[in-house]
Amino acid sequence: MNNILSLQQRIIPEMIELLKKRYKILKSIYYNQPIGRRALSQELNMGERIVRTEVSFLKEQGLVDINSIGMMITEDGENILEKLEEMIHEISGLSNIEETLQKYLGINKVKVIPGDIESDNTVLKEMGRIAANYIKSLIEDNYIIAVTGGSSVAQVVENFPKINKNNLLVIPARGGIGRIVETQASTLASKLALRIGAGYKLLHVPDNLSRDALETMLNEPDIKDTVEKISKSNILIFGIGRADEMAKRRGLSDDEINELLQKGAVAEAFGCYFNKAGEIIYKTPTMTLDFEDVKNIEHIIAIAGGKSKAQAVEAVKTKNPNMVLVTDEGCALELLKLKGDIKK
């Protein structure tokens, strides 16, 4: 397969580009269906005439159905899309990139999704689906699954398939009550629990509490029990954020944000802010998994994409050989630049 693809790329490169374009169109219809041609054209940033021509071809092949409410992927289209994923992965040379980053980051596995979420929002959905299917393969009876908040983890939850396991518990890996309730850890924990038929516990606790208030709440039996279970999790699903963006979302003052950035903060995870060397330079006063406990969790799955997240991904070191990173091509290529494999 690899030899054939390599030969095709050298002899008829236009065929590979056409394959990638049709794959992108199919994928966009799949994640946005039902969708009209004009909306699809805007979604793909592609001319309507080109979209019309390609969609007509896909319809003739029985991969797309067009009706009054818009375009939808047929069952054959879904099967083709699934088979194309592996081919596009090989064409883009992502297997080699995954292996290189795995060694560079010192983790168990790296899964790279074609594209960049900063220019194609279907890539984030694809990252969520791939991560969800991988996590499903890890879950056993009696497992405790901890999740943080954020849009990346939200996509994992949205794409999680049905499973048949017993006595599962889903818990938030941190507290926090902010403006966007839909992507908070407690909200996502409850959603995931409902999707997989698990029990769940919540942590509706504001960020940036005083130390005294935090200690008082930690003595509440229900909260204390939930926090203890976080450190005993079998699976941790978390997102990685840029320090500047996350500090604003967490409600830090301008002075606090400037101080963080002056100290060299580039990444945030679990309420901790990291510098380029992966050192914790500040911890948000909140109920969360202690970063020192992360390395003791058996399965750690990090979700982060977009080239602007590369430095943050590199900074968040868990020192856990079981960690798996699900990212996109944009972030992966930027990580290679940081490593020095690609000229900036």
pLDDT tens, position by position, 33-85: 999 989 999 888 888 899 999 999 999 999 999 988 999 999 999 999 888 88
Q: What is the pLDDT of residue 226?
A: 76
Same domain? 68 vs 127? no
Residue 344 in any domain: the answer is no
Same domain? 103 vs 75? no
Q: Which of 91, 123, 143 is the last residue of a domain?
A: 91
Residue 104 has pLDDT above 80, yes or no: yes
Same domain? 129 vs 246? yes
Residue 274 in any domain: the answer is yes
Same domain? 265 vs 155? yes
Same domain? 128 vs 45? no
Same domain? 68 vs 107? no
- Tally of structural domains, the chain: 2
Q: Which of 73, 91, 109 is the last residue of a domain?
A: 91
Tell me what the mean pLDDT of segment 107-122 comes to.
Answer: 90
**High-pLDDT (> 70) share of the chain, %:** 86
- Model confidence at 325, pLDDT cuts 50, 70, 90, reads very high
Same domain? 79 vs 112? no
Residue 115 Ramachandran class (φ > 0 left, ψ -120 to 50 alpha, else beta): left
> Mind spelling out the 3-state secondary structure of 20-41?
HHHHHHHHHHHHHCCECHHHHH
Give pLDDT tens digits for 161-193: 889 899 999 999 876 655 567 778 889 999 999
Q: Give CA–CA dist 245/256, Å, rounded.
A: 13
Terminal CA-CA length for the chain: 32
Residue 239 has pLDDT above 70, yes or no: yes
Same domain? 163 vs 72? no
- Show Cβ contacts of residue 338 under 8 Å, excluding neighbours closer than 6 positions: 310, 311, 314
> What range does the domain containing 316 cover?
94-339
Same domain? 53 vs 118? no
Q: Give CA–CA dist 217/206, Å, rounded.
A: 11
Q: Which residues pair with 282 in a beta bridge?
A: 273
- Show Cβ contacts of residue 255 under 8 Å, excluding neighbours closer than 6 positions: none
CATH of residue 81 = 1.10.10.10
Residue 206 has pLDDT above 70, yes or no: no
CATH of residue 171 = 3.40.50.1360
- Alpha helices, DSSP H, located in the chain: 2-11, 13-32, 37-44, 48-60, 75-91, 94-105, 122-138, 151-158, 185-196, 211-218, 221-231, 243-249, 254-262, 291-294, 310-315, 329-339
Same domain? 179 vs 66? no
Same domain? 161 vs 203? yes
